Each structure stands twice: as C-alpha cells, then as structure tokens.
Amino acid sequence: MKKAFSALADPVIIDGKENETLLFLINRTIKGNKKFLDENSLKLLRDEPWRNDVLKVTEWIHTHNLKYPYSKADGCIFYYEKNLRFRKNKILGYAKDSKQINKCQFLVTEFFWKGSVTSLVEQFAFYGEDDCSLVDQLIELGLSQECIPAFQKKCSEAIKIRLPDSVHQHCKQVRFFQADGKSIAVTPVVSTGIQRTIHKLTRSLTENRIYLI
C-alpha cells in the first residue's frame, strides 16, 4: 500500500475502499510503523497533540519546491493557474521539518475518488460544498465534529495562492545583465509535479537499461 500511495505513483481509485484508505493514511503518520491497517491507530483521531501536529503542517504545503536544490533555502509557494479542484493532478508537497512529513502525507496524498483526483486537504477545505465527503467518514471513525472547523480553516488557507515576500538567501538565482549594466535576478523554482515526472522518467530509464549518450 505504501508504494501504491507514494508520491511517485499514479493516483489509485479508492471507491469502495474509503475506510481502508483513511486507516492507511492515519497509520502512515506513525514513524516507523509498518502495520498500515492497524485499527488501534484510530485513537489518534481523538488525540489532541496529534491533531495539532497535523494542523501545523498545513502552513507548509506547497506546489513548488523552494528547498530544491539546496535544502537550507526556506519559504513556501502554493500556486496554480486554474481551479485547483479540477486539475487532474495537484502533486502537493511539504516544505518544512522532514520529521513531520508523514503528518503532511496524511493530508496531501492524492487518489481518485468519485471520478476525480482529490486529497484530504481538499476534502477538509471544501467540506460542506458537496453531498459526499471523506470528512464524514473520518467522523465515523472517531474524529470529533468539534474539530472540523479548525481543520477546514487551516486547510482552506493552505490551498490558497501564496508567494514569499522575499527571496531566501540560500535560493539559487540566475542573473541577466542589461545594456545599462544593471541586472535582473530570476529565482528558478521547480514544481513538485515536474520533480515527480523526472523521478519517474529516471526510474523508467534505469529499469529498462536505457542510457542517454
């Protein structure tokens, strides 16, 4: 299951397997855990420190990776050109403490559900706008109804367009000099979608033993 729901894999269809998917995503937040369908993890939905940790990572959900190629760079970009809900793939990532990445994967792991690609961050953000939501199933599994407004607020804020006010000192820059001697500095930023495409292509070339000369 871990491989099927990895960031490098194409989104899987979870219709009819909603509870198993949610159980997997909850178990995945437990560092070192290999029992991805362990129902004992459902108690985390009632655990306030766990919920707070999940809410904290929403501030660092991104679409473009400022920390690549230099991990010391800091900042968060969330940008898309058309309605997020109707994009076939969002490929969201996490731009902060790597120790908390499993908590972020609980929210940003993508899958096909009811004919479209979605994730729990979207399910929380748009809760109440559709007849069906995976949030209702999380409530059935033990998440308190009282927690929903906080999750909805943080997830809604997480998927709004956000750009940094300044360029971090460790971000790579390309300078273009003009005729008057002045220069224009551009900071290239790779999207998480492009990163996934490159990783998949590299893996495919390796598996098929194709070498570029």
**One-character DSSP codes across 166-186:** S--TTS--EEEE-TTS-EEEE
Asked whether residue 86 is domain-assigned, the answer is yes
Asked whether residue 212 is domain-assigned, the answer is no
Q: Is the pLDDT of residue 37 over 80?
A: yes
Tell me, what's the pLDDT at 75? 78
Asked whether residue 35 is domain-assigned, the answer is yes
Q: Is the pLDDT of residue 83 over 80?
A: no
pLDDT band at residue 66 using 50, 70 and 90 as cut-offs: confident
CA pair distance 207, 200, nearest whole angstrom: 10
Q: What percent of the chain has pLDDT over 70?
A: 92
Q: Once rounded to an integer, what is the mean pLDDT over residues 170-194?
A: 86
Asked whether residue 92 is domain-assigned, the answer is yes
Q: Is the pLDDT of residue 14 over 90?
A: yes
Asked whether residue 6 is domain-assigned, the answer is no
Report which of 184, 185, 118, 126 is spatially closest to residue 151, judged by C-alpha positions: 126
CA-to-CA dists, residue 34 to 1, 41, 103, angstroms: 10, 12, 15
At 104-158, the pLDDT tens digits run 999 999 999 998 889 999 999 999 988 889 999 999 999 999 999 999 999 999 9
Asked whether residue 1 is domain-assigned, the answer is no
The number of distinct structural domains making up the chain is 1
In terms of phi and psi (left: phi > 0; alpha: psi -120 to 50; beta: otherwise), the region of 209 is left
Asked whether residue 76 is domain-assigned, the answer is yes
Q: Is the pLDDT of residue 203 over 80?
A: no
CA pair distance 200, 107, nearest whole angstrom: 22
Domain extent for 200: 18-207
Helix 48-57 crosses helix 148-158 at what angle (to 10 degrees)? 20
CA pair distance 145, 191, nearest whole angstrom: 35
CA pair distance 207, 211, nearest whole angstrom: 11
Asked whether residue 10 is domain-assigned, the answer is no
